A and B are shown apart, each in its own frame.
Chain A
Amino acid sequence: MSTELGHLALALALLSGLCLAVFPALGVWRNDRRLMDMATPAAYWQLLLVALAFACLIENFVTHQFSNQLVANHSNRDLPLNYRVAASWGSHEGSMLLWILMLAGWTAAVAALSGNLPQGLRARVLSVLGAISIGFYLFALLTSNPFERAVPAPLNGRDLNPLLQDPGMVFHPPLLYMGYVGFAVAFAFAIAGLLEGRFDSAWARWVRPWTIVAWAFLSLGIGLGSFWAYYELGWGGWWFWDPVENASFMPWLTGTALIHSLAVTEKRGNFRSWTVLLAIMAFSLSLLGTFLVRSGVLTSVHAFATDPTRGVFILIFLCLVIGGSLSLYAARAHAVHAGLAYGLMSRESMLLANNILMVVAMLAVLLGTLYPLVLDSLGQGRISVGPPYFDAVFVPLMLPALLLMAVGPLARWRQTPVPALAHRMRWAFAASVTTGVLLPLTAPSDYKPATALGLIMALWVASGVVMAGLENMKSPSGPLDPLRLRLQPGAWWGMQLAHLGVAAFVAGVTLVSSYEVELERKLAPGEVLQVDRDLALRFAEARLIRGPNYDGVQVRFEILRAGEVVGELSPEKRRYAASRQVMTEAAIRRSLGGDLYVALGEAVGDAWAVRVQKKPAVNWIWIGVVMMGLGGFWAAADARYRRRVGAAAAVPSGSAEPLR
């Protein structure tokens, strides 16, 4: 019953999406306030109906209704409750419904929090969001309905892929989709701005918090995905340059450029048309990511060719969104005024350089991700682009970005004299270079210049944050006063925290890639494996285990330091009952200094092939990402964004006539 109820709710939500897209736009056209005001109830109804549909789907999973095709394919009687809930977005259809729920949530949030926006702009933004949601409702209802019935209903389901039976599955997709879909709001603001011909700093101030929040969610989502892959896949890698990862990374890079470009648009009125273009790009890449991951084109172009309905639908939708918005951009962007003049060395030019680097990096990732697909679909043979390509391109592009990151926030708008800037940064420079060069000498392994370079970069970025803090502590009377930092707004704190997060991230990446140790050995019970000079592992015992929906073997290893047992690690090899799939569960001893990571290979008699890894400072990577995400939220919470915009600021400064 609830299956039909969910289906009905989704169909009604499509209706409310139609109302949301049509009536406010009509209201703007006829200058009818009442029609424009219909946006708010339409947005709320939409959220209510989609939430109802989603609740029905979760109910189907929780109560084992295998007559729902989706439940039959992705759940099982033995599946624990938390994973039954997560299984509702563990499939293609369910994750599209999650996407729709997120979009409805963002739309309702915009409706609720945009009371201070000019009526016309608000109506247009909500109408664009409604139009986007229509595309997704049609996609879900026509090609990936989560409420399809299975006839006859099986007695038990096929189970959720064991890889996905993990707390990561509960949090990773919702966070990631919050980010993806959040860029729809920036996109809607960009389109509304183009239609209205207004891109003043008030416009930028409205878009900024939405964009930063979306970016922060996306950062956390990607970071959690990386963390999850690290412990779940059993390989100990944290990033694989896999097309699925790249699909989420491209919107992130563009979003990073966008939040920096928006800062200039708000403060100085520059980069307006560039900002709009970035907003369009960020959302288009989110859609492209959905297309890549959801159409099956990544797994095999041939799989896509045998069932092309979904892929073709998204492709058409993608073309409509990108084509339509770029045409509008081409028609209207010339009318967007340039901002104030700025010098070659200024905060503006540094942020411009940051933007170019981010976009070039995005394009490089795009090339490496799409080229094999294009070649294959043209029948030109199958190729793949290995991680070395991405590393070789990415690192040189990010080095100048990191250099600028420390200086940019200290540089002045408009014009900043280089000698004065160099003078202010001289101690930071000296300290980061000497520490970065000397620190690798203390490591027992060979000296690698790349390690020193990575550490210098991390220290340089961190010292930029310290310098910014120190300079803002200076009181007019002379002595440093930490309390003066309270004067700084939330946006400043958020930026510093996020930049510090980048420093932690760079340090983590440098240390783990320079000093990681990986050993693969066969170990019999009682045998000892020397990991490095003072750390060893002893195979203590192997025993059979039984979980709720799997059985398997657990091997207990004792960690020895100078002969003393200082802890244990118990990796597992599981076989899931329903799918008969074998899964490796790695065991990790975590610390801030680094992880000890043990995963089982195959059994050889009563011995086991074992992969043991030492991962120095690997957790700094994710700590850094969390700092970036939290920094984003902190910045978006800045009280200045919530202040009511006065009438003076609401006068459009773009000269274009509003489009009717």
Chain B
Amino acid sequence: MSPRQRRLALVLGGVAALVVATALVLNAFRSNLVFFFTPTQVANGEAPVGRSFRIGGLVVPGSVERESDGLRLRFAITDQARTVQVHYQGILPDLFKEGAGVVAQGSMQGDGLFLAREVLAKHDENYMPPEAAEALKRAGHPVGAPTQFIQAPAPAPGR
């Protein structure tokens, strides 16, 4: 093989590999995007039925009901405007609390119930209870927004 042919083969091979990889990546990307909807959007019927998505908001205080097996439960998520009922089976993360922010991933059932496959309540080292942050803010010493949850829309103060 002459150096010219060799270079051509290398370039062609490289391009082919890149095309395959790009197709692979974009295809996987498209089919694994998870969209986020607020309870208002869900209540208005904007969320897809049958496709997995994320919903976020506050757990309505007093809405958590457990079945006797201790694993199945239902609770309501609100954005202070509308509320969505959620079903979940499994162990909840430590930060799941009534009145606190939460993000759930799952899909809508036909009857307007959201069946959560996963409940996320995520923390990092900047974690600070929102109440403490709020108190500080009122005192005139904001310390940066509370970052307890990912993807939870900013809760309206003074719920």
A interface residues with partner B (beta carbon < 8 Å): 73, 90-92, 158, 161, 163-164, 234, 244, 296, 298-300, 302-303, 306-307, 341, 343-344, 349, 356, 360, 363-364, 367-368, 371, 381-386, 388-389, 392-393, 396-397, 520-522, 579-584, 599, 601-602, 604, 607-609, 611
Are B144 and A343 interface neighbours, CB within 8 A?
no
Choose from B17, B35, B124, B144 the contact partner of A244 (Cβ within 8 Å).
Answer: B124
Contact between B32 and A386, CB atoms less than 8 A apart: yes
| Closest-CB distance, B133 to chain A (whole angstroms) | 11
Contact, CB under 8 Å: B34 / A609: no
Within 8 A of A (CB), among B2-48: 3, 6, 9-10, 14, 17-18, 21, 24-25, 28-29, 31-36
Q: Which one of B28, B71, B128 contacts A520 once the chains associate, using CB atoms below 8 Å?
A: B71
In the complex, how many angstroms separate the beta carbon of B105 from the nearest chain A beta carbon? Answer: 8
Which residues on the B side are within 8 Å of A382 (C-beta)? 35-36, 54, 151
Which of A244, A344, A371 is close to B9, meaning CB atoms less than 8 Å apart? A344
**Interface-centre pick from A302, A307, A343, A522 (highest chain B CB count, 10 A):** A522
**A579 vs B94: C-alpha distance when bound (angstroms):** 13
Contact of B70 among A367, A388, A584, A607 (CB under 8 A): A607
Our pick among B21, B125, B145 for the contact of A90 (Cβ within 8 Å) is B125
Q: How long is the Cα–Cα vector from A240 to B140 in the complex, in angstroms?
A: 38
Decide yes or no whether B113 CB sits under 8 A from chain A: no
Q: Is the CB of A344 within 8 A of B10?
A: yes
Asked if B82 CB lies within 8 Å of chain A CBs, one says: no
Q: CB-CB < 8 A to B71: which residues of A?
A: 520-522, 601, 609
**Contact residue among A298, A343, A386, A609 (Cβ-Cβ distance under 8 Å from B6):** A343
CB B44 to nearest CB in A, in angstroms, measures: 15
Q: Find out whether the CB atom of B126 lies under 8 angstroms from the CB atom of A92.
A: yes
Offer 17 A-B interface pairs, CB within 8 angstroms, sorted by A.
Answer: A92-B126, A158-B128, A161-B124, A299-B124, A299-B126, A300-B147, A300-B150, A341-B3, A356-B17, A364-B21, A382-B54, A384-B33, A385-B32, A392-B28, A602-B91, A607-B70, A609-B91
Residues of A within 8 A of B147 (CB): 296, 299-300, 303
Q: How far is the CA of A384 from the CA of B150 in the complex (A)?
A: 11
By the criterion CB–CB under 8 Å, are B10 and A584 in contact? no
Category for how many chain B residues contact A: 35 or more
Roughly how many angstroms separate A26 CA and B62 CA in the complex, as a whole number?
Answer: 70
Query: Separation in Å of the B82 CB from the closest CB of chain A?
Result: 17
A590, B14: Cα distance in complex, Å: 44
B66 CB to closest chain A CB (Å) equals 7
For A343, what are the chain B residues with a Cβ–Cβ distance below 8 Å?
1, 6
List of B residues within 8 angstroms of A611 by Cβ: 91
Task: State whether B145 touches A300 (Cβ < 8 A).
Answer: yes
What is the bound-complex CA distance between A243 and B130, given in angstroms?
Answer: 23
The 6 closest A-B pairs by CB, nearest first: A601-B91, A604-B70, A522-B70, A389-B32, A382-B36, A392-B28
- The CA of A298 and the CA of B122, in the complex, are separated in Å by 12
The interface residues of chain B lying within 8 Å CB-to-CB of A601 are: 70-71, 91-92
Q: State whether A579 touches B36 (Cβ < 8 A).
A: no
In contact, B70 and A364 (Cβ under 8 angstroms) = no
Residues from 85 to 137 in B contacting A, C-beta threshold 8 Å: 89-92, 94-95, 123-129, 132
Inter-chain CA distance A21–B2, complex, in Å, is: 48
Q: Which residue of the partner chain B has the closest CB to A352? A: B10
Given A344-B6, A392-B28: A383 in contact with B145 (beta carbons within 8 A): no
A116 nearest CB across to chain B (Å):
36
Contacts of B25 in A (CB 8 A): 360, 363-364, 367, 393
Chain B residues within 8 Å of A608, by CB = 70
Partner of A381, one of B17, B36, B91, B144: B36
Structural contact, A389 and B29, CB atoms closer than 8 A: yes
Of residues B125, B147, B154, which shows the largest number of chain A Cβ atoms within 10 Å of its Cβ?
B125
The reply to whether A298 and B150 form a contact with Cβ atoms under 8 Å apart is: yes
Q: Report the minimal beta-carbon distance from A582 to chain B, rounded to whole angstroms.
A: 5
Residue numbers in A under 8 Å from B145 (CB-CB)? 296, 300, 302-303, 306-307
